[in-house]
């Protein structure tokens, strides 16, 4: 796993945009996350689209997850969020699990099938929850799990409450499983802010455990973690990560 530490969230966004741009130019398949962590990367990609003509025409994109129990047109439904944050600005169509489906088990299987038919995800962007979730695989999720319904922890509901009226905060989601996420060719985790420092340290340097679902990243052969300084503050090998990145051979990309 490569760990890249930047001075600011904006610089972290530029590194993530550099990685995603390679897949965009190759006409590959992007896996997209919502939440606030990927915001600066999306802003940078929108800027490159507008100012540098970066075209998303040949690309496909899939979301990690979707709330269950809110209407599809709700402004906080992730298919709406990603359109506002990113995809409408670059002309990209994004598929996502349908949290309004009457049969969520069938919907989960169909979503897995659509990922398979697309040939899988080339680069999957990920955020991390303060409780260690990846996608919405909350603590206790099987490290081999597939797309399915999960129940949010109270901690995640509190973290996401800022987007909803108090009585509206969803309890359930459809999320790609950890086993599904691990099938993407390249995983890119982005985390910023001191509130993520503890969970980032647990995920990167703690034991691989369903208790910290993001620790499953340690099992994947190609992961890039992009952190700002506050999010990296509790890593024990921080000096080593900086040295590795600072002395990267010129032939080695991300
Ligand atoms: C969102 C998702 C979540 C978020 C995580 C961090 O699609 O899958 O895992 O990435 O909750 O959210 P932020 O970035 O808002 O802190």
Query: With contact defined as beta carbons under 8 Å apart, do 4 and 224 qualify?
Result: yes
pLDDT at position 248, please?
94
Reported pTM: 0.98
pLDDT at position 223, please?
98
Q: Phi-psi category of 208—alpha, beta or left, where left has phi over 0 and alpha has psi -120 to 50? A: beta
For range 134-162, the mean pLDDT: 97
For residue 5, what is the enclosing H or E element? strand 2-6
CA of 135 to the centre of ligand 1 (A): 7
Q: How confident is the model at residue 150 (pLDDT cuts 50, 70, 90)?
A: very high
Q: Which of 11, 231, 239, 16 is nearest to 123 (CA)?
A: 16
User: Which CATH code, of 3.40.50.300, 3.40.50.12280, 3.40.50.1360, 3.40.50.1010, is assigned to 2-246?
Assistant: 3.40.50.1360
pLDDT at position 4, please?
98
pLDDT tens, position by position, 49-71: 999 999 999 999 999 999 999 99
How open is the CA angle 109-211-174, to the nearest 5 degrees? 25
Q: Using CA atoms, how far apart are residues 70 and 72, in angstroms rounded to an integer?
A: 7
pLDDT tens, position by position, 17-51: 999 999 999 999 999 999 999 999 999 999 999 99
Which residues have C-beta atoms less than 6 Å from ligand 1? 33-37, 64-65, 78, 127-129, 133, 135-136
pLDDT at position 126, please?
98
Q: Using CA atoms, how far apart are residues 84 and 80, in angstroms rounded to an integer?
A: 6
Residues known to be catalytic: 65, 131, 133, 138
pLDDT at position 21, please?
98
Query: With contact defined as beta carbons under 8 Å apart, do 4 and 96 qualify?
Result: no
């Amino acid at each position: 796993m490569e760990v890249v530490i930047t001075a600011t969230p904006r610089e972290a966004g530029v590194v993530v945009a550099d990685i995603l741009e390679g897949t965009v130019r190759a006409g590959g398949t992007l896996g997209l996350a919502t939440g606030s962590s990927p915001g600066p990367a999306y802003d940078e990609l929108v800027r490159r689209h507008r100012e540098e003509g970066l075209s998303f025409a040949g690309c496909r994109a899939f979301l990690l997850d979707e709330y269950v129990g809110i209407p599809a047109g709700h402004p906080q439904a992730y298919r709406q969020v990603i359109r506002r944050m990113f995809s409408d600005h670059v002309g990209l169509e994004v598929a996502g699990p349908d949290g309004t489906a009457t049969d969520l088990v069938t919907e989960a299987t169909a979503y897995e099938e659509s990922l398979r038919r697309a040939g899988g995800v080339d680069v999957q962007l990920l955020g991390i929850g303060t409780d260690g979730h990846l996608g919405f695989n909350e603590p206790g999720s099987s490290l081999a799990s597939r797309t399915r319904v999960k129940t949010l922890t109270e901690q995640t509901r509190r973290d996401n409450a800022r987007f909803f009226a108090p009585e509206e905060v969803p309890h359930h989601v459809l999320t790609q499983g950890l086993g599904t996420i691990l099938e993407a060719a390249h995983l890119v985790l982005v985390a910023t802010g001191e509130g993520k420092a503890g969970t980032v340290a647990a995920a990167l340097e703690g034991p691989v455990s369903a208790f910290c679902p993001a620790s499953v990243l340690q099992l994947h052969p190609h992961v890039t973690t992009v952190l700002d300084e506050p999010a990296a503050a509790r890593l024990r090998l921080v000096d080593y990560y900086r040295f590795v990145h600072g002395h990267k051979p010129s032939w080695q990309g991300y």
